Structure 1
Amino acid sequence: MKEQMSIGLLLKQINNVYEKDFNNRLRTLGITASQCAVLDYLLTSRKEEVNQRDIEKALCLKNPTVTGLLKRLDEKGFILVVPSTKDRRCKNVYLTEKAYDIQRRMEADRKKIDKSLTLGMSKKEKEALVKMLEKVLYNVSEP
């Protein structure tokens, strides 16, 4: 009888395959899956001003990681990092036109991968999967 793989290991393997595929698709845009996640957050954020701390919290990432991501996105011309007028120690992050130009392509690539991840699943199964994964994320998230 085949031993069942642990949930954590399954999630890790799924993430590895997902990121590899997504990075390959995004390569033509000159960004990585991690950089895409930052751009997605900025594109969908309802906040008027977004700073590095907001990105860290939203993506569950540490300060040095976000610092590196923002630095590379700035160097590539996808964002501008500007000192806040309210607090000079704080820097706000803004998207450039270049980021808006690739938004549709990033979304299309993500939808293709999502479709392959849920191949053979009914609409109800997909909805159930999303609900379960949201529960898993909630369970492992910091309070």
Structure 2
Amino acid sequence: MTSKNTNTLLKIASTQLSRRFDAFAKDYDMTWVQMSIIDFLSHNKDRELFQRDIEEEFFIQRSTATIALQRMEKKDLIYRKPSTQDARQKSVYLTDKAHALERKISDYMIHQQQILEKNFTTEELTIVEKFLKFQAFQEEK
């Protein structure tokens, strides 16, 4: 019975977190996924990133990443150009429009983390992180 309650609470928390992130992102005509991609790209400016890097970071399928990136291109948030390493690949870059949002997105993400750190000890957050990683990456039996 505890597992069912824990999984239900996890689903509720996930839904609520998504709603809060979407509400913030909506003010900038984005989704929380797009906001998270901008945050990821902005924190990795020092390396060439590809769609597969985004797929791996967010544990999403290729088709999901393709759609998200295509929508971001239409909104002038990213652009792609041939890789300097492998012309068959296209690197993903932020546009000036997305760069203008970087600080706001970063501040929001930091604020959300600070709320957690204010309400939970480091040990508690370590346990939560362990639980979330277990749920995210366990094999179906």
If the TM-score is normalised by the length of the shorter chain, which range does it land in? 0.7 to 0.9
Q: How does 1:1-143 map to 2 (within 5 A)?
A: 3-4=1-2, 5-45=4-44, 48-115=47-114, 120-137=119-136, 139-140=137-138
For the aligned residue pairs, the C-alpha RMSD in angstroms reads 2.6
- Which of structures 1 and 2 has the larger relative contact order (alpha carbons within 8 angstroms, sep 6+)? 1
SS at match of 1:80: strand
Aligned length: 138
Q: Distance in 2 between matches of 1:48 and 1:107?
A: 19
Q: Which moved more, 1:128-137 or 1:94-103?
A: 128-137
Q: Distance in 2 between matches of 1:55 and 1:36?
A: 13
Q: Distance in 1 between matches of 2:11 and 2:27?
A: 25
Tell me if the contact between 1:35 and 1:73 (Cα under 8 Å) persists in the aligned partners.
Answer: yes
Deviation at 1:93, TM superposition (A): 0.5
TM-score, structure 1 normalization:
0.77
Q: Distance in 1 between matches of 2:27 and 2:16?
A: 18
Unaligned segments of structure 1, at least 5 residues? none
Query: Which amino acid counterpart does residue 97 of structure 2 have in structure 1?
Result: K
TM-score, structure 2 normalization:
0.78
Deviation at 1:120, TM superposition (A): 3.9
Unaligned segments of structure 2, at least 5 residues? none
Q: Percent same amino acid among aligned pairs?
A: 27
